[in-house]
Structure 1
Amino acid sequence: MGSTSLRSRRWRWASLLGATALAVTVGGALAGPAGAAGANVDFATHCIPPAVAGIPPIDGTTTASVSVDNTSPKVGDMVTVTYTVVTPAASNPTDIALPADIMTPTGKVALGGAQTGDVTVAGPKKNPPVAGKAAFPSFSMTGTFTVTKAGQITLSPGDYNIHTSYILELDTPCTVTDPPAPASETLTATDGTPANTRAISLGSASGDPGAAVTVSGSDFTPGATVTLAGRAGAGQTADTATVTADAQGAFSGSLVVNDTSTTGIVAYEGGSWSADKGAGPAAYVVNDNTPVPPGSQKLTTTVKAGTLSMSQAGDTVALTGVDFGQGGASTGSLRTVTVKDFRGGPAGWSLTGKVTDFTGPGAKIDAGRLSWTPACATKPGSPSTCTAGSTGAVGGAGATLAQTADGTVTGGEFTVDAGLSLDVPAFTPPGSYSGVLTLTLT
């Protein structure tokens, strides 16, 4: 699964998709079953239309929301943030109708509470057609940050920019009039394994090819040489620069970004990218303003990042019955779990389970008596390879059922199964006993 520091840096996507009821009967017949989006907020916004529009600044109201993939992370976890502008304050500043897929949004999300700072976010070049003078449509932007402090962390929508690439390359920057805007989402972070707390922020989330972006960093090794580099998905581009961290481990440097496929910027110590010696990626978009040659047509497409999810083939398992006075192994099979990892990027995943005590007629069977034998299969063509957890007790503390490692490119489809065995004491009172096995995907 990689080192602890690698795990602490990976993107965590936590989803509790359900539980499986496990039932066993002592001395009788088999038993049956026992039985995160942020809020929209409004805030005053000051938008500056492109000079070519010849109109004054727009003071209006933006409606937006911020959501995260994990509202209960640990210190060291990487959290994915989605900033959705539901109703922009600005509109198409010209009488010219804008065609589809010419808008590229970028912005920032403000952190408050236990951890402060800004998260840079960027969205795809995607939009429906916009009529002349009509309101801009809703759009979403994503970015990531690493949790460095335990406690409640608030997330508020911040400044955003709408870049349009049609006839002219134009920007409509919109700033929060009275920052910070109201908090849209709150997460509660808990203490975790000491983490790599290196962090970077960008002076801008977008720029034209050849433009320089300011990269600021903190918590790097004092005096270390730090490489600034562009990233295109999981790979590094040819755009690099070096800076030296000061006595406090901070730096501020400039990176010239030429590659139009750039999706983010990283900073790292050493000869090559390493998650335990680096920070980022911070979202960054290069405005592709390459002119189309006469007689040619420019074709574009977007590969959309998906999610990490799981589904179960059922939520009830009936274990075999045992006899009073003899007890022994009550066995069965976990309902097959299907994991789909369509996120892209370097993060692996882990599927864990924990079980409650089995309760029955005036008695209980301790959770620690349930053990499993995990198995995991990888669908052909998947970049990652699934590894089954170890055979052994599940218990209330939990155990790993299956996992994939972090890597340069990860993802795929996987099926997870397990043989189950409950060690029932010999003179457990007759009756039906049931417990709940909860599976968590992170």
Structure 2
Amino acid sequence: MNVRAKKQWIAGGALGAMLLGSVAMASAATADEVTHGEEDVQIEVAVTPVGALTLNVANPSVTLGESTSPEIWAAGNREFTGVLDGVSVSDDRNDVADGAGWAVTGQVSDFTAAGLPDITHDHLGWVPELANPVPGDFNVSPGLPVAGELQEVPDEPGPGGSWLEGGIQVGDLLVSAGDSAEANGQSFGVKAGLNLTVPKNTPSGAYASTLTLTLMEG
């Protein structure tokens, strides 16, 4: 191959390479995208409420001990006292309705002992108070103090306010919150001093009663 022919072959090969490259690039740039179908996918998620409004009683039993007050004995009565403690209300819900309050109420059964007359429930009184006040205004308050049927009513009001008389009745408040939303995320402890005053001639025996605490929201 002479020099001239060799130069033409080289030039022709280079041109061929350039043309091939040009064709390849033009083909990629001008290709049309074809859509063969289209479908929608719906995404759903259920954000459910979590947490709960709960009542907890750590100490399910209370033993009353007799007071040695000479004034009580002189009045013809015997007095037995104790403390209801370990009660708390907790609220860790993430979805709380505005304006809905909650309350813990009490109900007491008669005191019974085998073979002996009952001591009626209206002889039991209590003085509720918050056990672990939480800093801030959460609109949570102890219930009113209640004096038993034979209990001498103190001159001073209790933590919850002025005294009621006639013993603990169905629905008497132990503690309440005016607005669940304000108290949400907190735990409130409550306790109550208990007082059972009975006639001095009450027959000796091991008496027992049941105090039922009920947590309601409304």
TM-score interval, smaller chain: 0.5 to 0.7
For the pair 1:426 / 2:200, whether they are aligned, the reply is: yes
Give the Cα–Cα distance (whole angstroms) in 1 for the partners of residues 181 and 117 of structure 2: 51
CA distance in 2, matches of 1:423, 1:409: 38
After the TM superposition, which residues 157-172 of structure 1 pair with which residues of structure 2 at under 5 Å, given as runs?
none
User: Are the equivalent residues in 2 in contact too, given 1:315–1:335 (CA < 8 A)?
Assistant: no
- Any idea what SS the aligned residue of 2:62 has? strand
Name the counterpart of 1:209: none
Which residue of 1 is the match for residue 178 of structure 2? 405
Between the aligned partners of 1:401 and 1:437, the Cα distance in structure 2 is 11
RMSD: 2.9
Q: Which runs of 5+ in 1 are unaligned?
A: 1-50, 54-93, 105-122, 125-140, 142-303
| Structure-1 separation of matches of 2:117 and 2:103 | 34
Shift of 1:322: 6.7
Higher RCO by CA contacts (8 Å cutoff, separation 6 or greater): 2
1:416 aligns with 2:190: yes
The CA deviation string for residues 223-256 of structure 1, in whole angstroms up to 9 with x for no partner, is xxxxxxxxxxxxxxxxxxxxxxxxxxxxxxxxxx
Identity %: 34
Greater helix share, structure number: 2
Q: Deviations over 1:378-428 (max 9, x none)?
A: 3346x7232011011443524101111126644221010000001111111
1:312 aligns with 2:21: no
Amino acid at match of 1:434: A
Give the whole-Å Cα distance in 2 for the aligned partners of 1:386 and 1:336: 17
Q: Distance in 1 between matches of 2:212 and 2:180?
A: 27
- Distance, in Å, in 2 between the alignment partners of 1:373 and 1:355 is 15
Is the partner of 1:433 in helix, strand or coil? Answer: coil
Amino acid at match of 2:87: V
Residue 139 of structure 2 contacts residue 182 of structure 2 at CA under 8 Å; is this kept in 1? no
Contact 2:104-2:176 within 8 A present in 1 as well: yes
- Quickly say closer, same or farther: Cα 1:332–1:408, change in 2 above 3 A: closer
TM-score, normalization by structure 1: 0.31
Shift of 1:337: 0.6
Q: 5 Å matches for 1:95-244? A: 103-104=44-45, 123-124=46-47
Provide the C-alpha distance between the structure 1 equivalents of 2:59 and 2:180, rounded to a whole number of angstroms: 31
Cα distance between partner residues in 2 of 1:408 and 1:320:
40
Q: For residue 59 of structure 2, give the secondary structure of its aligned residue in structure 1.
A: coil
Equivalent AA in structure 2 for residue 103 of structure 1: E
Structure with the bigger percentage of strand? 1
Does the 8 A contact of 2:139 with 2:179 survive in 1? no
1:386 equivalent to 2:140? Answer: yes
What is the SS of the residue equivalent to 2:66? coil
Counterpart selection for 2:110 from 333, 344, 357: 357
Instruction: Pick closer, same or farther for the CA change 1:369–1:308 going to 2, 3 Å.
Output: same
After TM superposition, where is structure 1 displaced by more than 3 Å over at least 4 residues in a row?
321-327, 393-396, 407-410
Q: Is the 8 A contact 1:356 1:395 kept in 2?
A: no
Which one has a bigger Cα radius of gyration?
2
Check the 8 A contact 1:352/1:401 in 2, yes or no. Answer: yes
